[in-house]
Amino acid sequence: MFEKILIANRGEIALRINRACKEMGIATVAVHSTADADAMHVRLADESVCIGPPPSAQSYLNIPQIIAACEITGAEAIHPGYGFLSENARFAEIVADHGITFIGPRPEHIRLMGDKIAAKQAVKAVGIPTVPGSDGAVGSDTDAARIAGEIGFPVLVKAAAGGGGRGMKVAHKPEDLSLALATARAEAKSAFGDDAVYMEKYLEKPRHIEVQVLADSGGKVVHLGERDCSLQRRHQKVWEEAPSPALNAAQREEIGETVTTALAKLGYLGAGTVEFLFEDGQFSFIEMNTRLQVEHPVSEAITGIDIVREQIRIAAGGLLELEQSDVTISGHAIECRINAENAFTFQPSPGTITQFHAPGGLGVRFDSAMYTGYRIPPYYDSLAGKLIVHGRNRNECLMRLRRALDELVVGGIETTIPLFQRLVREPDILDGNYHIHWLERYLAARGA
């Protein structure tokens, strides 16, 4: 097992990884920008190293500085968390070249799944169902029109190197296609340096279902059930729950077995999440995230399995100690992403926390690096905390969430708490009757 791990991230996820390391008896190194000198993850780590000024490109994305921090402190492994360098295959290779262990998948799998076209082809070959669409990158507008005619409108144009909803455009009818292609290509080039796009059938009211997996070096792959991430705004998740209100036991077993069998064939290693659109009883692959997910705590809540701990054990060469039959789903869990944003316009709201009170009680977890007096900087993602609640069933979970939201106090900035206080009382949410377009339509109807 490792004696010291460097955490190449910040905020709540850096704190989450630090906690897992401490419980395993592993010393930790926090890296930080000058803007994060007083951050909680820096305060609680055993050591800390400043790696640059506030802009991410000069600090949290600065590979030479991160490697130097490892060498200075003697850290044997790097945990990248999520975002920043977590899905950068070249970073994983550089880490290995310096004799340091990257706590994550093999570089070839990060690279494969980072290319949405190659990923779709690869998973299709090992038995995972995919959305009808182009076999590869779309060439000319004429080719695009032909493919769209074959799969039928509406169609979704997606960046091959995309993520986070960037480089995605919908063409509802033939005359929309040319503009959708041009816009998606321009966004993809700007965001990812690659203007390749592909096309898929646009599903009208699908659920976003993802399957959490763990895979060891001995070829064993287990899944931890599914998460429903259908409440989204501009393709960004805001609310996740497990298990999904939309699946029955047979569907859950079917998709879990499909995913684990496929990833065993691919020789996958570590934690990962395979994401699907689910409509009319059919699953369609959209992407795989080769890292820890923001919403991993809901899977931990319903299974009792520490995913970060398992990531570290696998990276150290350990084998999974559990069989699929050992994974049991207990109760229901929901996570709300508490962002430093206006609850309805989603305008960022950095600033100083003047009041802070975290909710507590049975089945309540609040992952956050906030504290009274902490200044949320304007340079990074607006996620300020994650409220996770667990109950014996979905109704108990919802009532516990309502109570916890009313207890949570964050003063001095705007947050998304009021949005969740409203959603947790909406009939469609209470009934579990929503899809990936539901939240945007809900907000639009209220002028948000």
291 carries an active-site annotation: yes
CB 195 within 8 A of CB 186: yes
Q: Is 391:363 a contact under the CB 8 Å cutoff? A: yes
Sheet holding 47-52, edge to edge: 47-52, 27-33, 4-7, 77-79, 101-102
Strand partners, 409: 357
pLDDT digits (tens, 9 = 90+) for 137-192: 898 899 999 999 999 999 999 998 866 677 889 999 999 999 999 999 999 988 88
Give the pLDDT confidence score for residue 163 in this predicted structure. 66
pLDDT in tens, 26-65: 999 999 999 999 999 999 999 999 999 999 999 999 999 9
Per-residue model confidence (pLDDT) at position 446: 83
For position 448, what pLDDT does the model report? 62
Contacts of 337 (CB under 8 A, 6+ apart): 237, 238, 239, 294, 383, 386, 416
Half-sphere exposure of 83 (CA within 13 A, CB side): 16
| Helix/strand/coil for 32 | strand
| Amino acid 117: pLDDT | 86
Catalytic residue among 16, 207, 227, 291: 291
Q: What 3-state class would DSSP assign to 411?
A: strand
Tell me, what's the pLDDT at 166? 79
Structure confidence at residue 130 (pLDDT): 93
Say what the pLDDT of residue 351 is. 97
Long-range contacts of 425-428 (CB under 8 A, 24+ apart): none
* pLDDT tens by residue, the chain, 448 residues: 999 999 999 999 999 999 999 999 999 999 999 999 999 999 999 999 999 999 999 999 999 999 999 999 999 999 999 999 999 999 999 999 999 999 999 999 999 999 988 999 999 999 999 988 898 889 889 999 999 999 999 999 999 886 667 788 999 999 999 999 999 999 998 888 899 999 999 998 999 999 999 999 999 999 999 999 999 998 899 999 999 999 999 999 999 999 999 999 999 999 999 999 999 999 999 999 999 999 999 999 999 999 999 999 999 999 999 999 999 999 999 999 999 999 999 999 999 999 999 999 999 999 999 999 999 999 999 999 999 999 999 999 999 999 999 999 999 999 999 999 999 999 999 999 999 999 999 999 987 6
The pLDDT value recorded for residue 338 is: 98
Determine the pLDDT at residue 164: 64
